[in-house]
Structure 1
Amino acid sequence: MSKIPLPPAPGADEHVSLALLNSTVLLPGEHRADELGTPEEATDWLIGHGLVPARTALLAYCQNQLAGLRGDLRLLFAAQVGGEAPPQRALDGVNRALAQVPSAPLLRHAPAGGFHRTPAHPVTRLVEHAMAQIAEDAATLLTGDDASRIARCEASPCDRFLLRTHARRQWCSTRCGDRVRAARAYARRQDRDPA
């Protein structure tokens, strides 16, 4: 897996949509790391986030669907951070993911355990079900109390999203924060010591 060499951004452990947004990142040196780069990596990502059962094998088509949802979500979150209207095609893409699978778990009965509820999604629709869960998480985050805390990392060139845990924190990791502080210190030195 093309692991992102940074810890999860604040909020990504609680919100799978942020984890998906940040499954690709632009790193210093203009190198892009992508945890969904191959069907196997996309499958590992879904398994790692508990969205599909272990030993699932997905096709490139499924990888492309997941990467497409990520692109739509990045546009929506960027619009939220920028205070702008999102592109309609991104809204349509997320709404398609929300509508792909039934949202209400079906009622089942087992002789040993009695009644219970389980989501109805055949194995062939695992990715659609996972995408619906991710889209639901994103919709809840974008419309909830935490929407105003969504931010984009300010450490260039990083383009990850986070939930601000402090008003002054504008970066996704200690590494990015160190880069921002170093750039500020360098700029102050340049202002004091003009060549």
Structure 2
Amino acid sequence: MNDTAPGADLHPGLDLANSRVTAPGGLVTDLIDTPAGATRWLAERGLIPAGAELREACASRLRSMREQIRALLNARVGQLEPPPAALREINFVITHVPTAAELHWDPALGLHRAKPHPTDQVVDHALGVLAADTADLLTSADAERLAACESKPCQRFLLRTGRRQWCSVRCGDRARAARAYARKARLVP
């Protein structure tokens, strides 16, 4: 399923939450289930530099962040208190991301500023962007439009526009077909 849910193009945190999709029949598509998939997902969104390559430990951190974001989105949609562990993790990531280039000394260059780019710092930065975006989403006017797709078994989130209740045309068609089948089944004795 390559189509993005409404709002995912504006909020990378929402997009990350939707990176694992369950389709009818229990078919699961996980865009970040491998280091290569996680690298591709982050690169396509401009969250890591070209040529970066994630290892399993970093991909695992991205999947963990996805679960924390999903927990926060589920709580918001369900009008529940957010899980404390999810809040702690999001806040930890937001506050531990370096925002400025470090000051270095090199005899040939003298004092200069440079951002280190080991993979873990690249992933720290990407996770920080995703965590901050999620915090922004959950505290903005868009939070009122946040919804879970109403087509089962889909588990994606969207920002409602008008009366739209589904994350994609495919989910909308599936939900309408299920309702029509249910109506027909009730009419048949």
Offset at 1:90?
0.8
Which of 28, 31, 42 is the equivalent residue of 1:35?
A: 31
* Residues 149, 126 of structure 1: alpha-carbon distance in 2 compared, 3 angstrom cutoff: same
In structure 2, what residue type is equivalent to 1:182?
A: A
Moved segments of 4+, more than 6 Å: none
Aligned to 1:123: 117
Offset at 1:106?
5.1
Offset at 1:194?
3.6
Separation of aligned partners in 2, 1:121 and 1:76: 31
Aligned to 2:175: 180
Separation of aligned partners in 2, 1:157 and 1:189: 21
| Ranges in structure 1 where 5+ consecutive residues have no aligned partner | 109-117
Separation of aligned partners in 1, 2:73 and 2:115: 28
Map 1:32-181; keep pairs closer than 5 Å: 32-103=28-99, 105=100, 121-124=115-118, 125-166=121-162, 168-181=163-176
Separation of aligned partners in 2, 1:137 and 1:27: 27
| Ranges in structure 2 where 5+ consecutive residues have no aligned partner | 104-112
Offset at 1:101?
1.1
In structure 2, what residue type is equivalent to 1:92?
A: R
Alpha carbons 2:17, 2:157 under 8 Å: kept: yes
Alpha carbons 2:19, 2:31 under 8 Å: kept: yes
Offset at 1:102?
2.9
Cα offsets for 1:108-146 (capped at 9, x unmatched): 9xxxxxxxxx9x752120000000001111000000011
Separation of aligned partners in 2, 1:138 and 1:8: 17
Which of 4, 8, 11 is the equivalent residue of 2:7?
A: 11
Offset at 1:50?
0.1
Alpha carbons 1:101, 1:121 under 8 Å: kept: no
Alpha carbons 2:102, 2:115 under 8 Å: kept: no
Separation of aligned partners in 2, 1:29 and 1:18: 24
Separation of aligned partners in 2, 1:73 and 1:36: 15
In structure 2, what residue type is equivalent to 1:122?
A: P
What is the TM-score of this pair, normalised by structure 1? Answer: 0.87
Query: Alpha carbon RMSD of aligned pairs, Å?
Result: 1.7
In structure 1, what residue type is equivalent to 2:150?
A: E
What is the TM-score of this pair, normalised by structure 2? Answer: 0.89
Separation of aligned partners in 2, 1:141 and 1:179: 28
Aligned to 2:107: none
Separation of aligned partners in 1, 2:77 and 2:176: 22
Cα offsets for 1:150-180 (capped at 9, x unmatched): 00101000000110011x2110000000011
Report the identity percentage.
47
